Protein backbone atom coordinates (compact mmCIF):
# COMPACT_ATOMS: atom_id res chain seq x y z
CA UNK A 1 0.00 0.00 0.00
CA UNK A 2 1.32 3.43 -0.90
CA UNK A 3 0.16 6.86 0.25
CA UNK A 4 -2.46 7.23 -2.50
CA UNK A 5 -3.95 3.85 -1.56
CA UNK A 6 -4.09 4.94 2.08
CA UNK A 7 -5.73 8.23 1.11
CA UNK A 8 -8.39 6.30 -0.83
CA UNK A 9 -9.11 4.00 2.14
CA UNK A 10 -9.33 6.92 4.59
CA UNK A 11 -11.55 8.88 2.20
CA UNK A 12 -13.95 5.98 1.88
CA UNK A 13 -13.99 5.10 5.59
CA UNK A 14 -14.45 8.72 6.68
CA UNK A 15 -16.79 9.64 3.87
CA UNK A 16 -14.40 12.42 2.79
CA UNK A 17 -13.12 13.60 -0.55
CA UNK A 18 -9.70 12.25 -1.49
CA UNK A 19 -8.30 15.79 -1.29
CA UNK A 20 -9.58 16.25 2.27
CA UNK A 21 -8.36 12.79 3.31
CA UNK A 22 -4.93 13.63 1.85
CA UNK A 23 -4.86 16.85 3.87
CA UNK A 24 -5.76 14.92 7.03
CA UNK A 25 -3.02 12.34 6.47
CA UNK A 26 -0.46 15.06 5.73
CA UNK A 27 -1.42 16.79 8.99
CA UNK A 28 -0.99 13.54 10.93
CA UNK A 29 2.40 12.84 9.35
CA UNK A 30 3.55 16.43 9.96
CA UNK A 31 2.48 16.25 13.63
CA UNK A 32 4.39 12.99 14.13
CA UNK A 33 7.50 14.39 12.42
CA UNK A 34 7.34 17.60 14.45
CA UNK A 35 7.11 15.72 17.74
CA UNK A 36 9.97 13.38 16.81
CA UNK A 37 12.04 16.40 15.79
CA UNK A 38 11.89 17.68 19.36
CA UNK A 39 14.65 16.42 21.65
CA UNK A 40 13.48 13.09 23.01
CA UNK A 41 10.11 13.39 21.28
CA UNK A 42 7.86 10.35 21.24
CA UNK A 43 4.43 9.60 19.78
CA UNK A 44 2.34 6.89 21.48
CA UNK A 45 -0.75 5.63 19.71
CA UNK A 46 -2.35 3.24 22.20
CA UNK A 47 -3.20 -0.07 20.58
CA UNK A 48 -1.16 0.75 17.46
CA UNK A 49 2.40 1.52 18.53
CA UNK A 50 5.04 4.02 19.53
CA UNK A 51 7.29 6.14 17.34
CA UNK A 52 10.51 7.29 19.00
CA UNK A 53 13.99 8.45 18.08
CA UNK A 54 17.25 6.68 18.74
CA UNK A 55 20.84 7.88 18.45
CA UNK A 56 23.39 5.86 16.52
CA UNK A 57 27.04 6.26 17.45
CA UNK A 58 29.68 7.12 14.88
CA UNK A 59 31.61 4.14 13.68
CA UNK A 60 33.85 2.69 11.03
CA UNK A 61 32.84 0.62 8.06
CA UNK A 62 34.28 -0.73 4.84
CA UNK A 63 33.44 0.06 1.26
CA UNK A 64 32.45 -3.38 -0.11
CA UNK A 65 33.87 -2.60 -3.57
CA UNK A 66 37.28 -1.29 -2.61
CA UNK A 67 37.73 -2.57 0.93
CA UNK A 68 38.62 0.99 1.93
CA UNK A 69 37.79 1.92 5.51
CA UNK A 70 35.23 4.73 5.83
CA UNK A 71 33.89 6.77 8.72
CA UNK A 72 30.17 6.48 9.41
CA UNK A 73 28.90 9.63 11.15
CA UNK A 74 26.61 9.60 14.19
CA UNK A 75 22.94 9.96 13.31
CA UNK A 76 19.44 9.98 14.71
CA UNK A 77 16.94 7.43 13.43
CA UNK A 78 13.25 6.71 13.93
CA UNK A 79 12.11 3.57 15.73
CA UNK A 80 8.66 2.02 15.77
CA UNK A 81 7.49 -0.47 18.36
CA UNK A 82 4.19 -2.16 17.57
CA UNK A 83 1.51 -2.01 20.25
CA UNK A 84 -0.43 -4.97 21.61
CA UNK A 85 -3.54 -4.26 19.50
CA UNK A 86 -1.53 -4.24 16.27
CA UNK A 87 0.39 -7.39 17.22
CA UNK A 88 -2.83 -9.17 18.14
CA UNK A 89 -4.52 -8.20 14.87
CA UNK A 90 -1.61 -9.73 12.92
CA UNK A 91 -1.78 -13.01 14.82
CA UNK A 92 -5.52 -13.72 14.53
Q: Where are the domains of the chain?
A: 1-37, 40-92
Please return the burial class of 7, using the count of CB atoms within 10 Å of its CB with bins 0-12, 13-18 and 19+.
Answer: buried
Question: What integer pLDDT is reported at residue 89 of this predicted model?
Answer: 93
Q: What's the mean pLDDT when you consider all of the chain?
A: 93
Low-confidence stretches of the chain (pLDDT < 70) are none
Question: What integer pLDDT is reported at residue 78 of this predicted model?
Answer: 94
CATH number for region 40-92? 4.10.520.10
Question: What integer pLDDT is reported at residue 66 of this predicted model?
Answer: 94
Helix, strand, or coil here: 12? helix
Residue range 41-51, pLDDT digits in tens: 899 999 999 99
For the whole model, what pTM was predicted? 0.76
Amino acid sequence: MNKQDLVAVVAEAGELSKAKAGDVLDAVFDAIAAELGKKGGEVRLVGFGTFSTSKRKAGKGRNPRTGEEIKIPASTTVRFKAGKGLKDSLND
